Every structure is written in C-alpha cells, then in structure tokens.
Amino acid sequence: MKRIIPFSKYFLAAAIFSLILVGTGVVIYIVKGGFNLGIDFKAGLIQEIQIAPTAFNIAYNGENNATVSFTRNGMDVVISGSATDGATYSFSFSDYATLDSLTDALNNTIEDIDIEVFAPGDVNTGWFLQNAHGNPQINTQPYVIHYLEPNAPAIELSDVRGSLDQFGNVSVQVLGNPSDRHFLIRIDESEDSELHGTTVGVSSDAIVSALEADFGQGMIVVNRSDFVGSRFSKQLAEQAGILMLLTLLLILIYASIRFRPQFAVGAVIAIIHDALIMVAFITWTRMEFNTTTIAAILTILGYSINDTIVVFDRIRESRRLYPEDSFNKTLDRSITETLGRTIITTFTTMLAVLSLYIFTSGSMKDFALALLVGMISGVYSTIFIACGFAAFWEKYIKKELRGDAAQAVKAAGA
C-alpha cells in the first residue's frame, strides 16, 4: 500500500503562512503607492516606433496629385487630378528585389518623380518599413521609406528611455525580438499638459525629434500614434476587475453544481489566494500591471481550478471506497494519490513557460514569470488552501450546523 502523506497536519501552518504572504503584499502595495500601472491603464500618449535607417525619400513635382500606398509586398503610386484620368503604378517587391531596381523603375515609369536615396543599392526591398508618421500625399513633402536588416544589432531599452527623460514620466516597453528595434512609448497625461486636446500631434513630433537627436536623423519609424483619454483607461481598469469577479462567480457556480458547497467555497478561496499571491509578487517586483498581467492571472485561475477539481474528484471517490476513514485521512489519501500527477503536469508545463521566460523579452517575459509564480502557488493552494478549507468546514462549521439542527429538533419535540 502506498504511504499516505499527512498533509492535513500542515493545513493550519499553511493558512498562517498564506496570510503572512498576502499581508506582506498589502503592505508592499501601500508602501509602493499601488501598482506599477502599464500603458493600458494610464491616460496619455501611446507611440509605437522602430529605430531603422532611411532607405529613400520619394516626392512628386508634377501638376497633378500623387499618393503613395505602401504594403509589405509592394508599393503603389496613384497619380490623379484635373489634368489626368488617373493612373496607378504598382511595383511588387518580388519583381524589384533591390533598392536600385525599385528606384530605377520608379524614375523610368513615372514622370516628375523625385527620389533621394540614402541606403546602399543592394538593400532588399523586403526589409522596407512604412512610416505611419509621414504624409502619403507626396506633393508637398517627400514620403520617407525606412529599412531594417534581419538580425540587426539590438538597441538597449535604457538608451531609448534616456533619450526621453526630458518628457518626465515615460514608460518604454520592448515589442517583439530585440533585433526588431521595436518599442512602445507612453507619456502620461498628468505629466505633460500638452497632451490635452489638439496638441497630441506636437508631442508626437517632439518624441521623434528627441529620439533622432540621439539615434540619428531619419532613424525613427512611427508605426502607430494614439491618445488614450482618462475615461477610457478608467473604463478598462473597471472592466478588468469585473472580468476577475465574473470568473470567480462562474467557478463558484460550477464547483457548487459538481461538488458540495464547502468544496466550491474552498475552490474559490484557493483561486482568490493564487490571484492575491500573484498580485503581491507583481507589486513587489514592480512588474508592469497591464492587460498581459491580467491574462496571466486569468490563465493561472483556470490552471489552478483544474488541479483543484482533479483532487476533489479523487476525494469524492475515496469517500465512497473508504467510508470508514476520517475526513482528514480521506483528504490525505486523495492528495497523495494525485500528487504524482500534479507534479508531472506542473513540471512539464513549467518547462514550456520557462522557455518563454528565457528566450523572450518585454511583456512576454513578464507574462512567463508571472505564470511560473502562479503555477507554484496553484499547486500549493490546491493542497493546503482548498483542501484545508474543506477540512475546516467539516470539523467546525458542519459540526456546529449539526448541533444547531439537533437543538431545533429537541425544541420542536418539547
């Protein structure tokens, strides 16, 4: 017979330990002044940029109107106006694989086109990047096209932040691989009074100018520039809280239908415990609290309840097979029998998450780290919190309810 591990002996100690962890998290939250809110929960300017050199500028000096339409597979130049019926010139990057071949085709096909080349002629057109900050109407000013070689040397996050120190409270986040030189920049609304109303574009230009002062003229590609108002950011935070509460409610309903009420409440307390442990860890490490963090917490809630349901199923089966056992012995038996499965499942999952943590960066790295902490907490809470609450209910609350019922029957008989 397999040796039964007496987990029930440590339920009280585990509860005290968990209270200390959660209490420490609350203290850290107060001392640190709350969460290190990410770009999703703060009002302000959001700008997505890449640092890449200019390939060429294209302008039009004719009497008509010219517009550039740029995609990953090619570019179109549309000529329109009163003096022409309109013409579209398409240049596929598969047909014009180098910068020289593309610019030669533009010069030879379209009249009054003015092109200024800055990059080597053998640059691959598949490396081109579109600048959303430019004006596709190329009559008044040139349209700038950038390029970025694969596996380009990475640019340090600290260097980008240093270039933007003049703007006060600035958040910078790495997007994708370091070789993409892709960053998400946020300036809080409260830190820059210019971000109210119509001055968002001016601030966007100021960011580009500050970065170009350090990284070089024509080196900044603006992929996106948005302004998030305080009302929207507040609404997003409220929706995240509602989502968490709705998740807990649905789990409570499901567990109540499948198991007895004490198990349902124990399951909810366990996942609340996991959420609080993750929140305490996020606060302590000053990890950015954003939508990715919310996703990590919700993922762990689902992972933890799955583990808890497996253990509860075994408890129900053990009570049927060993009706003579005490409730605590049934818990110990069930946890011991499922422990191997729990360890193997968690370990293999953690290997995949660990690879994410090692080989990624930015928000994905934070996501993986939060998952690792949550998985450890999920196993712990299933054994010591969910089952511990069920044991507490059986020993104290259920006993008290039985006593009240007996007194009621006795009073009715009298």
Average pLDDT for the chain:
81
pLDDT of residue 189: 64
Read off the pLDDT of each residue in 196-216 and give the average, rounded to a whole number: 69
Structure confidence at residue 80 as a pLDDT band (50, 70, 90):
confident
Asked if pLDDT for residue 16 goes beyond 90, the answer is yes
pLDDT of residue 373: 92
- Condensed to tens digits (0 to 9), the pLDDT of residues 299-348 reads 888 888 888 888 888 988 888 888 888 888 988 999 999 988 888 988 99
pLDDT of residue 223: 84
Of 154-168, 225-239, 358-372, which gets the smallest average pLDDT? 225-239
Domain boundaries, the chain: 7-41+232-404, 44-228
pLDDT of residue 134: 65
Higher pLDDT, residue 262 or 106? 106
pLDDT of residue 372: 92
Asked if pLDDT for residue 393 goes beyond 50, the answer is yes
Asked if pLDDT for residue 350 goes beyond 80, the answer is yes
Structure confidence at residue 83 as a pLDDT band (50, 70, 90):
low
Structure confidence at residue 197 as a pLDDT band (50, 70, 90):
very low
- Condensed to tens digits (0 to 9), the pLDDT of residues 257-303 reads 877 777 888 888 898 899 889 888 888 888 878 778 888 888 888 88
Asked if pLDDT for residue 101 goes beyond 90, the answer is yes
Asked if pLDDT for residue 363 goes beyond 80, the answer is no
pLDDT of residue 404: 43
3 state SS for 14-79: HHHHHHHHHHHHHHHHHHCCCCEECCCCCCEEEEEEEECCEEEEEEECCCCEEEEEECCCEEEEEE
- Condensed to tens digits (0 to 9), the pLDDT of residues 154-189 reads 888 888 888 888 777 777 888 878 888 998 887 766
Read off the pLDDT of each residue in 45-70 and give the average, rounded to a whole number: 86
Fold of 7-41+232-404: Multidrug efflux transporter AcrB transmembrane fold (1.20.1640)
Pair 349, 372: CB distance under 8 Å: no
Read off the pLDDT of each residue in 40-65 and give the average, rounded to a whole number: 83
What is the percent of the chain where pLDDT is above 90?
15
Closest alpha carbon to 206 in 223, 183, 234, 185 = 185
pLDDT of residue 167: 77
pLDDT of residue 232: 56
Read off the pLDDT of each residue in 62-80 and give the average, rounded to a whole number: 84
Read off the pLDDT of each residue in 375-403 and give the average, rounded to a whole number: 79
Structure confidence at residue 403 as a pLDDT band (50, 70, 90):
very low
Structure confidence at residue 405 as a pLDDT band (50, 70, 90):
very low
Q: What is the DSSP string of 98-158?
A: BHHHHHHHHHHHSTTEEEEE-S-TT-BGGGEEE-TTS-SBTTTSPEEEEE--TTPPP--HH
CA distances from 277 to 249, 350, 376, 378 (A): 19, 18, 10, 10
pLDDT of residue 1: 45
Q: Residue 407: which H helix or E strand, with range?
A: helix 398-413
Closest alpha carbon to 225 in 200, 250, 194 = 200
Phi, psi for 345 (deg, rounded to 5)? -60, -45
